[in-house]
Structures are given as structure tokens and as C-alpha cells.
Amino acid sequence: MEPSDTSNPRATLTSFLESCNELYDCANQEATPTDSPQPFLPATERILDCLDLSGLPSELRDASGVESAVFLKEVLDRIELPRDDKIPGATSSDGVPVSRWRIPGTRLTIARVQDGPREGAYLFSVETVRRAARFYSAAKQLPYRTEGPKVSPGFHERIAALTKRDPKRSADTSSPRGTLTLFLDSSNEILRSSTHRNTSTVTIPSIYQRR
């Protein structure tokens, strides 16, 4: 359960990609969901380590964070990523601390947290997490890249295949099946909302709205 390295933009991007690939591999090996969440939890925790979820209500952070991560990974697997030596560390070449870094050619941003319990960590920014579904909607027609870090082809579809085994809508997160069903259903709501509505905000899925 060692946490992700988020000490600089380069480390955060690497940690995020590797953790998403780990979750993808777990999903591919899970032919039939079981009652044990153990294969999924370590990768999920490391994924969430890389995201600034402070802009979300606390009760939404885990589920919304995972669904945003799936969308972000699908985008990152379709775009050219810079070489490691082109991604900044915690300081620039002249010793100035790096406060934020945007992946070239995108709006995906990794920023240094300025206060709170994650102070000093470099995380995918609040705005990047919030707009993940919209970024995926814009990029999903692109082919997967063939060079650079490992990709997870069909990541979203694989999750869908697992959750179709139990199509009943549920907020149960005590098992892989319940958790995956929850975040896939809600992410599909977000994607439909961002695709079909020309608004500046994304609607929170009904399953997450307070009663």
C-alpha cells in the first residue's frame, strides 16, 4: 500500500500511468467479479493519490476520482507524451520552484498543492479532474498511440464488460462489482451530459445527489 510518488510533475504523471495500467491489468484478469476487493484496492488508492479532489464534496471523492482517472487515462493513451527529460521536476533548470505544468498540446494540468494535508504534492488539478469526461469526449475518436508509455486499450470498455454482469444500479462499494458498476454508470451519465449539452458545467449524476 505504498503511496504514489507525487513529489514533482514527472513523478506524478509516471505514478498515475503505472497505477492505471495496474488497475487495467487487474480488470483483465478478473473474469468474474468476486466479493473480495483486494485486487483493485492498491491500484485505486495510488490512482487517487495523484488527483486533487479538494473541489469535490468528500462523499463523492473516491467514486468520482476513479471515474475521472479512467477518462484521463483514455486521453493520455491517445496523445503524444513528452519524454521524461522534458517533464519538469520540482524546480526548473534555474532553481525556481515549479508551481504547475501543463501537458503540451492539452489542458491537462499538474499543479503543486499550496495548503492543506496534501501541501507540496503535485496533483492533477481540480479543474482537470472536473473536466475529465469532457476531455475524453473530445479525444475518444483518436487512435491509441503506438509509442511512449504503456497504454490500456479499451480500458473503459473493459470496465463496462465487468459491470454488465450485474447491471442493477447500486451504490454498494464493498466489492469490485459494486464499485465498478457505480462509477461506470455515473461516468456514463457525466459523458452523456457533457456530450449533449453545451453548458459550462457537468451535471452531477443522480446517484450522487444528496437525498
Q: Report yes or no on 61 lying in a domain.
A: yes
Q: Is 90 exceeded by the pLDDT of residue 165?
A: no
Q: Report yes or no on 2 lying in a domain.
A: no
Q: Report yes or no on 66 lying in a domain.
A: yes
pLDDT the model gives residue 209 = 39
How many Cα atoms within 13 Å fall on the side-chain side of residue 206? 3
Q: Report yes or no on 4 lying in a domain.
A: no
- Domain carrying residue 18: 9-208
How many Cα atoms within 13 Å fall on the side-chain side of residue 19? 28
pLDDT band at 66 (very low <50, low <70, confident <90, very high): confident
Q: Report yes or no on 3 lying in a domain.
A: no
Candidates 68, 64, 76, 70; CA nearest to 162 is 70
Q: Report yes or no on 89 lying in a domain.
A: yes
Secondary structure E strands in the chain: 100-102, 109-112, 122-124
Q: Is 70 exceeded by the pLDDT of residue 15?
A: yes
Selected residue with higher pLDDT from 209 and 79: 79
Residues 126-149: pLDDT tens digits? 999 999 999 999 999 999 999 999
What is the residue type of 173?
T
Selected residue with higher pLDDT from 91 and 38: 91
pLDDT the model gives residue 6 = 97
Q: Which of 17-26, 31-40, 154-163, 172-181 has the highest mean pLDDT?
A: 17-26
Q: How many domains does the chain have?
A: 1
Residues 25-50: pLDDT tens digits? 988 876 544 444 456 788 889 999 99
pLDDT the model gives residue 193 = 54
Average the pLDDT over 6-30 and give the result: 92
Selected residue with higher pLDDT from 140 and 160: 140
Q: Report yes or no on 86 lying in a domain.
A: yes
Residues 186-201: pLDDT tens digits? 555 555 555 555 444 4
Q: Report yes or no on 116 lying in a domain.
A: yes
